[in-house]
Amino acid sequence: MKILVPAIAILISLAACKTSQNNASTATSPSADTLRYAPEKHLTNIRQLTFGGDNAEAYFSFNGKFLTFQATNEKWNVPCDQIFYMPVDGYKSAMPPMVSTGKGRTTCAYYMPGDKQILYASTHLGSEACPEVPRVVNGKYVWGIFPDFDIFVADLKGNIKKQLTSAPGYDAEATLSPDGKKIVFTSMRTGDLELYTMNVDGSDVKQITGELGYDGGAFFSPDSKKLVFRASRPRTAEEVSTYKDLLSQGLVQPTHMEIYTCNADGSDMKQITNLGGANWAPFFHPSGKKIIFSTNHHSKSGRQFNLFAINLDGTGLEQITFDTVFDAFPMFSPNGKKLVFASNRNNKGGRDTNLFIADWVE
C-alpha cells in the first residue's frame, strides 16, 4: 500500500535513529553537492526540498514544474498524512499549500492532466480523526489497510471536485498514466488487495490482478502501455493463513515483496525481482527498459533501504543510492532529467524523512 509515511516510521525505528553522514555532510550548498554520497554516480546537484517531519511520495506535475507529496508535521499542526504541493525548487513560506481536507488520513497524491487538480485517497468520509496506525502484531511489522479510504479529485485550493470510488473497503494508491487517460489503483472490493484501472472520470473499472497477495504501488510505463508494482505472494499454508488473518484485521506485512510488471490490461505478468526482503516503490526509468525501486535485500539487518535499478528482464541490478538508513519513493521528471526521492540523509541523526531532488546522470 502507499500508506508509507507510517511505514517509514516503522522501518526507520528499526535502526537506532542515527544516520551516519560519512560522505554526505550537513552543508546545504548545492554547488558543493554535499548531500550526495560518493558512490552515487547517477545523481548530481542534490537539493533538499523539505526540512522536518515525515515527507514522502513526491510526484511531478505533467509540466514538471511542481511536486505533490504527503506529509506529517507537528509544526504544521498535521498529526497524520495530508497532501501538499510545492514548486520543484521547494516552498518558500512557513508551509506549502495543503490540497487535502486536513481530516482523516490521506495518501498517494498525483496530478491530473492539466496540472490544475490532484488525485488522492482519504479516510475523511469515515472519520475526521486520524485512524490509528498499528505497528506490530505478534512481533510482525504491519501496515494498516484502512477501509475508509476512497479516491478523490481536488483543485489546488483544496476543494473536492469529484469522488471517484465508493465501493466498500479500501480504495487507494492511485496514479495516472502519462497519456492522462487511465488511473491505476489498489482495491479490496473482491476481498483481496488487487490492482484495477479506470478512466479519469471513474468509469470503466477493470480488474488487472487476481492472484492471492497484496498488489499495490503501481505506476505506468512512459508509453502508458505497461504497469510496474510491488506484490506479496504467500505460497505455503502458513504464509497464506497469516496473510488472510492479517487482512481480515485490515493489516498487511510489508517485509516480503517483489517487483512485477504486466501490460496495462493485466496480460504478460512477469516477476522482475527475486531478491528476498522488501522490494517496493518501483518506478519506470525514462527509457521504459529499466525500473528504479527501493529495497533492503542487501542489508543483513533489513534496516537499510536504498534505491536500486534493474532491467525489465531481471538483469543488470545496480545500486543507485547509499544512505545508511533509508532512501525510497523515486520518481523521474516527465523529461527524464531529474529524480525526486525521500531520504533520511542530512537529518542530523533524527527521525525526519525529507524530500530531495537531483539531476539524473546516465
pLDDT tens, 20-67?
Answer: 333 443 334 344 699 999 999 999 999 999 999 999 999 999 999 999
Task: Report residue 2's pLDDT band, with 50, 70 and 90 as the boundaries.
Answer: very low
C-alpha closest to that of 80 among 130, 12, 128, 152: 130
Q: What percent of the chain has pLDDT over 70?
A: 91
Which residues are within 8 A (CB) of 175 and not within 5 positions of it... i.e. 6 or more apart? 59, 108, 110, 119, 183, 184, 185, 218, 219, 220
Give me the mean pLDDT over the 262-285 stretch: 98
pLDDT over 70 at 258, yes or no: yes
CB 197 within 8 A of CB 184: yes
Mean pLDDT of the chain: 92
Q: Has residue 283 got a pLDDT over 80?
A: yes
Cell of 155: 483543485
Start-to-end Cα distance in the chain: 30
Q: What is the pTM of this model?
A: 0.92
Tell me: pLDDT of 19 over 90. Answer: no
Assess whether pLDDT exceeds 90 at residue 295.
Answer: yes
**Is pLDDT at 357 greater than 80 in this prediction?**
yes
CATH superfamily of 4-360: TolB, C-terminal domain (2.120.10.30)
pLDDT band at 139 (very low <50, low <70, confident <90, very high): confident
pLDDT of residue 32: 63
pLDDT tens per residue, range 320-331: 999 999 999 999
Given a contact cutoff of 8 angstroms between Cβ atoms, the answer to whether 284 and 310 are in contact is no
Helices (H), 210-358: 237-248
Cα gap 43→37, rounded to integer Å:
9
Q: Is the pLDDT of residue 11 over 50?
A: no
Rounded to an integer, the average pLDDT of 303-316 is 97
pLDDT reported for residue 24: 47
| 8-11 LR contacts (CB < 8 Å, sep 24+) | 8/54, 8/56, 8/326, 8/328, 8/342, 8/353, 9/54, 9/135, 9/351, 10/135, 10/141, 10/143, 10/254, 11/141, 11/296, 11/303, 11/305, 11/326
Asked if pLDDT for residue 185 goes beyond 50, the answer is yes
Please tell me whether residue 285 adopts helix, strand or coil conformation: coil
Break the chain down into helix, strand, coil percent, rounded to 5: 10, 40, 50
Closest CA to 49 of 96, 93, 111, 91: 91
pLDDT tens-digit map of 92-137: 999 999 999 999 999 999 999 999 999 999 999 999 999 987 789 8
pLDDT of 210-247, one tens digit each?
Answer: 999 999 999 999 999 999 999 999 999 999 999 999 99
Report the chain's C-alpha Rg in angstroms: 19
Return the residue matching grid coordinates 517531519: 53
Is 187 within 8 Å of 171 (Cβ atoms)? yes
Give domain limits for the chain.
Answer: 4-360
| pLDDT given for residue 68 in this prediction | 98
Distance CA 257, CA 192 (A): 16
Give percent of the chain above pLDDT 90.
88
